Structure 1
Amino acid sequence: MLADPHHLLVLAEDVTSQDVEALAVSRSTDAGWSGPAELQLMPGVHLTGPWTLESDLLRSFDLPAWARQAYLLSCPVQRGAALPAELRGVDPLLDAFPSGVPTGVEAEALGHLRAIARRLRGALRVAGTGAVVVPDADAAIDLTVLAPVWLDHDAGLQVLRQTLPAVRSALDDIPEELAGQELEGYMLLSDLGDGDLLEIEAAGLDEVPTVLRGTDWAAGGVVGYEIRWRPAHPEQAFRGRPPLQVRRSRARAAELIERAAGALQALVGGEVVDDDGFLVDPGDLAG
């Protein structure tokens, strides 16, 4: 039964339980079905459902009109101090807990729910306050190419010069006396104008990402090529609803990130993952 003491993952009609399971196991090695209609996210934390949302429940819970099903989250309640005044309005999920911000297992579980909701264009309904949080699917634009092949600094620079504007090496900003030191990875920068940057960081990973477990090539080591947007005004860009001009800049950065990820993946192989750790089909990236 749906009840106020539980957080809810709210989804549209066309989302299947297999969709939810696939995303859950991408983020946690402990995720999987633990019983009929019971999906474990991690030890002691599970979702039950899906539960059908009738029209009267949509109204009483103030849910979006597209909502047709929900999963109920069972997890320990762990709260910290009240949300500081200077952080209000930055994160809609934290705003839903004004008297005590989730910590520990509860915070981690809500992180899983938000990631799943963002990918499936769903929502969360928070226990207690009843706040409904609809993650912005267009806000998480960073991508990472996970590959078996190491592309050296000069080769990476050459590939991305065909895709990104004004791309350069971060070594250009390092003092001359430090530039000769051996580095474990490297970073490239692309100037987007108005102070915005893209950072491309290449490094070997210490552990195989969860989403790649069971992949044969990953057992031999994984190289990560992270492509991240660094806006000139992060306090505006990463708040709940950025100004229109910032959203336009973000959309332009997102297209460039997709092109860069596609160019790298075409050369080094492997997989592309989004900022929540979910696989992205290279065929869906901007060309």
Structure 2
Amino acid sequence: MVPALPRLDAADPNVRGRHLLALPADVAEDEVEVLAQSRFAGARWVDAAEPPTTTRSLLRPVTAVLGIRAVGADTAPSRTLRIGRRSTLTGPYRVEPTDAVALNLPPATTLAYVVEAPRERGAKPYPGGDRDGLKRAFPDGLPVLEEERVVQWLVAAARRLGGAVRTAERGVVLTPDPDSAIDLTVYSDRWLEPTETLAVVRRTQPAAMLTGPEAGWSGPMAGSGRAAADVPPGLPEAGGRGLSAALARYGVMDEAERARLSAEAAAFDQHMLTNPPLPRGYGVLVDLAVDGLLAVEVAAADDELPPLLQGLPWTAKGVVGYHVRWEPLLIEELEAERPSLEHRVARGRAAPQLQAVARSLHAAVGQEIADEAGFLVDPADL
């Protein structure tokens, strides 16, 4: 028989004075754990008596759907999940309907985690977009440092799990829309050339096109080798007599030295023409007409890799990120906590097309897909 969870007491000052992560009944503890490990590299279950600075490693595997590596212990985890040096989640607690009403939590709330985090506040928020509602919840000063990282993760986790966040002090409840973050990133160790990526995207979006000029070098500027009199002051031409004249003008008077430098410039020009450098990044665009644009941005992604993917064998030699993003006609609506009906309709039509592109890219390059928050996504769920 599964023991009953302890009840969350809405009248307890320790509950009302802390941030809460409120969740529906179908969210398991290991789901919360994996999302924590996706953002906080040292996230782990700990004993209540364990010092905050401990670095005890755990050996229990994560969920099979991720199938990545071992991250837990062979003993049963305690009920405290450490996510920062001074921050923990304790729970889950059972939330009765009366307590949900008293705390103004969504009616579907049956579970909750109590968050212990430092109170670290900065300046008052500036006017403008507030998709997550944090400016509304913290009008006197936004969280900074560790509290900022914890609060941002709580909102992202609530969005992913269909839950809500109740903030400390004012008791503002944030219920992020799960459909408000549709962008995806495919992380892989395989680099596709621009034309290859275009071909993959066109499997689901035939009107896709490359954006901007392809990376590379097309040789010296037009007019190289012109006489010195034709070279504007301060703008030496590459190679030829123009370069030689410019070198003379800047003090290289020895004819043999000027000839040597000119020959090196010509050799470099020829090398770059025959061996152009690989592009550092490029993009593919899909025009969705009244629904905006889909953009695929391809670039190195080593600096943005989710913690769960760091240190894996396939990430050791560099990772490429295939970012699949949606851009509406009114870009400012992306940061609206309650966007217009037109925006939500366009987003609803764009989402399956974006997911189809991400699936095609994943099929072509393999490895992992992550959402906007850096949480891994099973391709079968798209």
- Same fold by TM-score, threshold 0.5 exceeded? yes
Aligned residue for 1:42, secondary structure, equals coil
* Residues 143 and 228 in structure 1, CA contact (< 8 A), matched pair in contact too: yes
| 1:90–1:276 Cα change, 3 Å | closer
C-alpha deviations, 1:72-123, integer Å up to 9, x for none?
Answer: 1111111122233x23765422211112211111111001111111111110
Q: Distance in 2 between matches of 1:78 and 1:206?
A: 30
Output the CA distance in 1 between the equivalents of 2:316 and 2:213. 34
Identity of aligned residues (%): 40
SS of 2:345 mapped into structure 1: helix
2:283 matches 1:187: yes
**Aligned partners of 2:123 and 2:142 also within 8 Å:** yes
Aligned residue for 2:112?
A: 70
Residues 198, 284 of structure 2: 8 Å contact kept = yes
- For residues 71 and 89 of structure 1, the distance between their equivalents in structure 2, rounded to whole angstroms, comes to 24
Q: Deviations over 1:136-167 (max 9, x none)?
A: 10011000001121111110011111212531
Aligned to 1:9: 21
Establish whether residue 253 from structure 1 lines up as the match of residue 294 from structure 2: no
Q: Where does residue 193 of structure 2 map in the other structure?
A: 152
Aligned to 2:224: none
Which residue is 2:295 aligned to?
199
Q: Structure 1 CA distance, aligned partners of 2:213 and 2:343?
A: 28
Looking at structure 2, the residues matched to 112 and 140 of structure 1 have their Cα atoms a distance apart, in angstroms, of 14
Structure 1 residues 171-206: Cα deviation after superposition (integer angstroms, max 9, x where no partner): 2599x989x985312111111113722211111223
Tell me which of 22, 26, 32 is aligned to 2:44.
32
CA contact (8 A) 2:214 2:282 kept: no
CA contact (8 A) 2:186 2:323 kept: yes
SS of equivalent residue, structure 2 residue 140: coil
Unaligned runs of 5+ in 1: none
Mapped to 2, the partners of 1:217 and 1:242 lie a distance apart of 39
Q: Name the structure 2 match of 1:227.
A: 324
| 1:65 to 1:80, Cα distance in 2 relative to 1, 3 A | same
Q: Which amino acid aligns with 2:205?
A: L
Q: In structure 2, list runs of 5 or more residues that go unmatched.
A: 1-11, 48-77, 220-272
TM-score (norm 2): 0.69
Aligned ranges for residues 170-181 of structure 1 at < 5 Å?
170-171=211-212
**Corresponding residue number in structure 1 for 2:366:** 269
Deviating beyond 6 angstroms after TM superposition, the runs of 4 or more aligned structure 1 residues are none
Matched residue of 1:9: which SS? strand
Q: 1:127 aligns with which of 165, 168, 173?
A: 168
Report the CA distance between 1:238 and its aligned residue. Answer: 2.6
Contact 1:237 1:247 in 2 (8 A): no
Does the 8 Å contact 1:53/1:67 carry over to 2?
A: yes
Pairing 1:137–2:178 present = yes
- Check whether the contact 1:88–1:95 (CA below 8 A) recurs between aligned residues: no
Are residues 17 and 90 of structure 1, via their aligned partners in 2, closer, same or farther at CA, if it must alter by over 3 Å?
A: closer
* Residue of structure 1 equivalent to 2:88: 46
RMSD of aligned residue pairs (Cα, Å): 2.3
Which is further off, 241-250 or 229-238?
229-238
Contact 1:30/1:43, CA 8 A, preserved across alignment:
no
Q: Residues 194 and 23 of structure 1: is their aligned pair in 2 closer, same or farther, counting only changes over 3 Å?
A: same
Q: Which residue of 1 aligns with 2:73?
A: none
CA-CA distance at 1:237 after TM superposition: 3.3
TM-score, normalising length: structure 1:
0.91
Amino acid at match of 2:295: E
Match of 1:83 in 2: 125
Secondary structure in structure 2 of the residue aligned to 1:94? helix
CA contact (8 A) 1:50 1:70 kept: yes
Asked if the contact 1:75–1:106 (Cα under 8 Å) also holds between the matched residues in 2, the reply is yes
Structure with the higher strand share, 1 or 2? 1
Secondary structure (helix, strand or coil) at the match of 1:220 reads coil
Distance 1:252 1:20 in 2: 30
Is the 8 Å Cα contact of residues 51 and 70 (structure 1) preserved in structure 2? yes
